[in-house]
Amino acid sequence: MTDEDAVTVDNPDLLKLASQLKNGRGFIILGGICVSKVVTLFSSDGLFMNPGKQQKILDGVSLVPKLLHEYGIEGFGRIIHTDDYTAGLVSLIQNSGLGAFTPNSLLSCWPSEMALKRTPAGTKARSNLLSMIQVCEVFEKLVIIEKGKSWP
């Protein structure tokens, strides 16, 4: 397994946009939330207890600086592993930054067409979008949502 298998970038254009918005000032924290789909993180087959899966976490951590460099982004990266998306988002927003130097905004992409469908996955995608907006409101973060090419 290569470390490229550990992290996938669903929307590389979002990283390009982040680099352009920064325009040489301030810093960017590239954050990712990995939600465990089947088992809990601490079960025998979970990410934190299974040696093979632990290595995947370490590979993902080592890939983040490479992604930042590849897209010309000066900043830091963090991947949050959690059983719940909203808990991961709250953790990422609360713990990002250094002292008084905390991010003032969150850049995200609009959900895919899947969010329009009346399926459990569509409901979850819409719920995650609303959770993101609510969390950013509570922590007084500006939200920038890139619409992208795929949204109707």
Nearest to 80 by CA among 41, 125, 137: 41
Of residues 1 and 147, more confidently modeled? 147
* 31-71 pLDDT tens trace: 888 887 766 777 777 767 777 777 777 777 788 888 888 88
How would residue 141 be classed by pLDDT, with cut points 50, 70 and 90?
very high
Reported as type and span, the H/E element at residue 136 is helix 120-138
Q: What is the DSSP string of 76-103?
A: EEEEEEES-HHHHHHHHHHH-SBTTB--
Residue 152 lies in a domain: no
What average pLDDT does the segment 61-86 reach? Answer: 85
Enclosing domain of residue 136: 3-146
Share of the chain above pLDDT 90, in %: 11
What average pLDDT does the segment 131-150 reach? Answer: 86
Residue 101 lies in a domain: yes
Whole-number mean pLDDT of the chain?
80
The enclosing domain of 13 has a CATH number of: 3.40.50
Confidence check: pLDDT of 152 > 60: no
* 19-32 pLDDT tens trace: 887 666 777 888 88
Q: What is the model's pTM?
A: 0.74
Residue 151 lies in a domain: no
pLDDT the model gives residue 100: 79
How many structural domains are present in the chain? 1
